[in-house]
Chains A and B, each alone.
Chain A
């Protein structure tokens, strides 16, 4: 199946990546060749196969649910491109 330009626009919207026309065009070609490559899997009948969900045999471990207050707000905010004393800052969402 080929990935036309409208499909590229649709998935780039879902992935929140803006693309200009030139990029959309080249990606349409690239992605189509990748999809054609992965469609080789259709040769295989997998009707009776259970999909693999984990390659580790043991079940995931759990830990005690303990509240930790390490007061690391400054560390969390440190790398933010825009912040004030307490919060991440984003463009206005609510009028």
Chain B
């Protein structure tokens, strides 16, 4: 059998059209790889039989109207999929089978794709290493016992290991961009409101956005185009036309102004990250961009304010898990005891921590001191970006302050885990689009990414800038096969 799994999404789409191969052949290649990659623990639920059926049906009809015609896609297990178990990586939802489909996955299926399976993630998307899932750690194909980042860690690993041609994740504080950076893949968090949140298991509703994770920038533009759009079922989704990101993709970035914020040069940042950042500057200069030093003075307050806002919203969102309507239920002598036991047994440690922090900062007497304070700081962070974008078209930073680390390294210290997201969180607080593009390796041969932040609803500019970096960085996937069986 031909192994087609090393092809990019765009190549697979054109290959089916040109009859170089069938949808069934593609689907078989990915299923075959997945069966040999159990050590990575990327799938919570596989949908292989149904996917093969879908592929065969496609090959009979050969309807090429959609952007993703005939393509199997595995998605993060945070997207509700009709009649396919959706767990959010939690014991609480380990038996939950939605009777409806999320808008974003519906959009993919409307464009001709079909579901390959549901990918592991941190519990309720709370984590930066994919070590909080009820279904076990996900591992990074780049190294034994290495974590892939989180929370979309299963998505990132599956993509890097060629178990799915592309995937989608969600990003509340960096959960697409950080794992993309750790696995040498491209990940984009769209502007808040670009993609519908309807049917996605909620974490922090003012920060959550779904986005594409792909092998390269061209695939990213296409998948973003396919999943985006206004949805009357999400009152915060934007009535703004979706651009033809893939058709408009080009590296003619001459004259674009790119800002370099000095506040992102944090303490203890490895020299390699700084060197990578400088290389990124050179790539963009070479492509004709104008580099400008800028200041985002409240950057260091982004993480502390995030760790008030996100848990506060989470504590409210997760109040719905009461053992009555759906999900796990424990015994209790009365209603309150049933609630308390259900939530104690159904949620893992990190989720409990965040619910309790959220409950605390919203509780009587502390609301003003913590929650309102954080919302004020969030305004200051947004103002920083508004001010910066008067003078520049985009901002270039590293994606993460380090490369991927070993499982267990940071698990017992929540603060050091949270610091992973120091470069990604400000963007969520300000609702802006940002992309992580692979740009090089560290001395241990682990991938590192660069982040481009754009103006609201200007995903096209950061995609174009990323394309310029991608072409110049010449990043090549170099994974050993420790995980293959």
Contact = CB atoms under 8 A, between A and B. Distances in A.
Interface stretch (B2-10, B325-333, B434-442): B325-333
Interface string A31-53: 10111011111101010011111
Nearest to A62: B235
Contacts of A67: none
A18 B335 contact: no
Given A37-B307, A56-B192, A46 B238 contact: no
B124 interface: no
Contacts of A18: 337, 340-341, 343-344
A71 interface: no
A81 B327 contact: yes
A93 interface: yes
Given A51-B375, A55-B192, A79-B325, A14 B353 contact: no
Interface residues of A, number: 50
Question: What class of interface size applies to chain B in its complex with A?
Answer: 35 or more
A70 to B, nearest CB: 11
B355 A30 contact: no
A47 to B, nearest CB: 9
Q: At the interface, is chain B mostly helix, strand, loop or mixed?
A: helix
A90 B335 contact: yes
B343 A17 contact: yes
A41 B305 contact: yes
A38 B355 contact: no
B380 A46 contact: yes
B344 A19 contact: yes
B373 A79 contact: no
Q: At the interface, is chain A mostly helix, strand, loop or mixed?
A: loop
Given A79-B326, A91-B334, A58 B238 contact: yes
Contacts of A41: 301, 304-305, 308, 373-374, 377
Nearest to B345: A18
Contacts of A27: 352-353, 356
Contact of B329 (A51, A52, A81): A81
B45 interface: no
Q: Which 7 A-B pairs have the closest CB atoms?
A: A55-B431, A51-B375, A79-B326, A81-B329, A18-B340, A52-B379, A75-B99
Interface of B: 95-100, 192-193, 206, 232, 235-236, 238-239, 298, 300-301, 303-305, 307-308, 315, 322-329, 332-341, 343-344, 347, 352-353, 355-357, 359-361, 363, 370, 372-380, 382, 414-415, 418, 429-431
